[in-house]
Structure 1
Amino acid sequence: MRRPTGQGAAALSLLPELVRRAARVPSLAAKYAPHAAGDLPVLTDLPVLTQPELALATKEVLTLGHPSGSAQLWADGGTLDSPALTLLPEGMFAPQIRRAWRPLGPTDVLANLHPPGKLRPDHYFYNRFAVESGATTLAFGRLPDGSHDDWLDFFARHNVTALAAPPETLRRLLGSTAAGRPVPWLRTLLLGGATHDTTADAQIAECFPYTEVWRLYGSPSAWVTGHRGPQCLADVYHPLPHQHVEIVDGRLRVTTLDLSRNPPLIRYQTEDRGEFAYCTCGLPGPAVRVFGPSSPFFRFHGRAVSARELVELATAVEGVAAAQVVVSGEQRIQLRVRLAAGVPDDHHTHAWIRFRVLESHLSLAACVIEQPDLFEVVAVDDVDATEAVLVSEEY
């Protein structure tokens, strides 16, 4: 099924310039040069951009310079040796997102609980978004361990009305309020961004019954693609005006219709599966229902993680002969390894393999730090190399 979502002629008129700019990037020249001359190209006639192609083009742009002004560099996963890098314009599209998604106003105080650093953009985005909204920002960062309720009291005393939190922090907050303690001061909860938070609305409503939930859908590479508000259906998002979404063979493709994005993102193939839907909130145009990522990717704390990358990192550790990733329905990751002959099967070996994998992966470690028990290494007699790298099961 293929049906592009709502861009008018004015936005699509940017396509010729986007294609010309893409053709100037060395690794993309052959891909886009045939489409760079002539009249307005038909979007669906343009080639599909893959994640490896985007990563290589980004490296080239870093060498050649950014023609659209200052930019920020982030990582869409990957490893230290082979990072999946993404360039975003300095404003991170906060003004464009604010025009379509308006959860905050001048009377709000936003506590931003997204941790800074480690090539993760969400902390910096929500600071900028609050400025665009005229709100006050408390750029707090990661909640300290074991002090959820104390900090909730602190926020209440300092007139906080809204929280922005990553999935791993939200799980901790839901656990800390599970006893039914009311949090009437929390008017607004902002979720998503470069992560896709799939925490059930009903679970949030049980702990935060006074709170409206506003969500963004996106990834570091495609960036924020869709939005939804408190009246929208679960898992349904409205594409942002500058993001053109197609669904082809059940997969989402994104085109960013903005000249500040470099290299241009044209028909970028995401890992997420979805379908077109209509929302009951009343916003015009089709919406998108987002499902999970396609194998060998899996969703962990809102990030699409490649099981194949984890296997490659594990087998690069001396003494690991083979590996396989198993993910349970509760988002617990088990890295199963077959050790080489003579390698001791003990806690120290498992801990070293775990450390090396987490140290080299650009997104997994930041998620695991909140709940270390969600990622473990176990030794097995063998792994079935003929099966898919990712196996989902309960264990």
Structure 2
Amino acid sequence: MRYLIPDRFQAIVRHARRTNPFYARWIPEGGPVPVLTRRVLQDHNDEILNGLKATACTSGSTGMPVRVHMPRERVLDGLRDIAGFIRHMGRPLPRTDIMRARSAHPPPEFLAIFTPIPEQLEVLRRNFRERGATAIITYPSNAGLLAQEILATGSDFGFIRRVGMISETVDPGVVETVKRAFPNARIWSSYSCMEVGLISFQCPYEPEFHHVVTRKLALEILDESGKACGLGQPGRVVLTDYLNRKMPIIRYEIGDLAEFASCPCGRLPAPALRNIVGKIRGCLVHRDGRRVPFMALSVSLRNLPGMRQFQVIQEELERFTVKVVADGPIDDGVRAEFEREFGYLPRIGIERVDAIPREPSGKFYASICRIGTAERADVPA
């Protein structure tokens, strides 16, 4: 399936061919617009920036960072989208934002993501006492660590009324842990990427679904052959940004898997997504060559007794490194879950560590696949 506004799509295509040297070659005149892969964008990043200064850079945790230019008006437009989404949940609440700093002088509600978890919890208490902050916005991985600490120490955070999780794929196991730690909070999430900003927001009425921001984005879900997927069929997410005319992003395959769905809420007309699996490049690879989405294994590992944190790194087709923060013996359980998921037991090196650090971006990746792909594309000279 494809959701696009033809007039807007053709307008940004014409603009890109006229003003950007890369797109002038990449998009044939009058012909179909090719899918722009991450590798092609990276290889031609300077040309696509077209002399503009990069305003942000993706994490590059797999060695493939992308530099982007997001005009200020486009950033403000995205913030208005988020504000509109929050209004569906009721009035805005005083909050604490726990994430990576975007400026040298962050606002007072900001707390750096690298702050130790016990200190984060103390700041949440202080912000509630001093300014009535009852909402949190942070990354899912951090929300999970906050929740674990609260449950382990028996702390009372019933004063929190809203927890928003952004910028990372949301593990259902994390959601359940966060609900137990913040029993009076409404839990919400959004789906976004650095290249285009907000893509969709969680339905306030049917949390299993996310509604796409179609006024600013075209969104396609394609199968491996490039054909549009049907309703409920998972595939590759391909995006076009109608509004960024400085650095056009057209039919860009961001490296995520998701599926279109029909949201039963009946209140929001925007098309819906479900089962946003997350990065293809974070998927694991079976020895028969097929991709293995990490979500099922993630839930199994998270449920092992004593497991506090983990990171799975696929070094080679049949060799993995698993970093674990755990209480008590856990190696046999890890190997058993791998064998159950793959149908065979690959080589697994298990490293017991005290903590698993975040990326410099502040994000945490529970799975990293270091197996290279054969992704190639011929760009006209």
In the other structure, the counterpart of 1:49 is 36
Structure 1 residues 296 and 188, CA gap change in structure 2 (3 angstroms): closer
Mapped to 1, the partners of 2:89 and 2:44 lie a distance apart of 36
Unmatched 5+ residue regions in structure 2?
224-234, 284-293, 299-310, 335-350, 352-356, 373-381
Residue among 16, 20, 23 paired with 2:14: 20
Q: Among residues 210, 223, 232, which one is paired with 1:237 in the alignment?
A: 210
TM-score (norm 1): 0.62
Q: Give CA-to-partner distance per residue, 1:188-240, whole Å, 9 cap, x none.
A: 111113x2232443322211121111211122234321101443233x31111
Counterpart of 2:181 (choices 172, 186, 207) is 207
- Which residues of 2 match residues 92-171 of structure 1 at below 5 A? 92=75, 93-102=78-87, 108-116=93-101, 138-142=109-113, 143-158=115-130, 159-171=132-144
1:147-206 CA-partner distances (Å, limit 9, x unpaired): 34422321221210211111232122101221554323211111113x223244332221
Contact 1:254 / 1:266 at 8 angstroms: preserved in 2? yes
**CA separation of 1:330 and 1:167: change in aligned 2, threshold 3 A:** farther
Which stretch shifts more, 281-290 or 107-116? 281-290
Residue pair 1:76, 1:219 contacting (<8 A) in 2 also: no
Distance 1:198 1:262, change over 3 A: farther
Q: Are the structure 2 counterparts of residues 174 and 103 from structure 1 closer, same or farther at C-alpha, using a change threshold of 3 Å?
A: farther
CA offsets 1:213-272 (integer angstroms, 9 cap, x no match): 1211122234321101443233x31111312211111111111221x3542122211222
Distance change >3 Å, CA 149–CA 330, structure 1 → 2? closer
Aligned pair 1:185/2:154, yes or no? no
Return the letter of the residue paired with 2:112: G
CA distance, structure 2, for counterparts of residue 105 and residue 169 of structure 1: 24
User: For the residues of structure 1 that align with 2:162 and 2:257, how far apart are their CA atoms?
Assistant: 28
Identify unmatched segments of 5+ residues in structure 1. Answer: 37-44, 117-122, 128-135, 312-321, 334-349, 351-357, 377-386, 391-395
> Cα RMSD over matched residues?
4.2
> CA 1:61–1:199 in 2, change beyond 3 Å: closer, same or farther?
same
Specify the alignment match of 1:83 in structure 2: 65
Note if contact 2:88-2:204 (Cα within 8 Å) is conserved in structure 1. no
The equivalent of 2:342 in structure 1 is none
- Aligned amino acid, residue 186 of structure 1: I
Name 1:270's counterpart in structure 2.
254
Amino acid at match of 1:151: V
| 2-structure distance, mates of 1:306, 1:17 | 43
Please state whether the residue corresponding to 2:160 is helix, strand or coil.
Answer: coil
**How high is the sequence identity, in percent, across the aligned residues?**
20
Letter aligned with residue 4 of structure 1: R
- The one-letter code of the counterpart of 1:28 is Y
Cα pair distance change 1:164/1:261, threshold 3 Å: farther
Give the one of 223, 228, 251 matched to 2:197.
223
In structure 1, C-alpha distance between the alignment counterparts of 2:312 and 2:61, rounded to whole Å: 8
Task: Judge which range, 46-55 or 92-101, deviates more.
Answer: 92-101
Cα distance in 2 between the residues matched to 1:248 and 1:56: 23
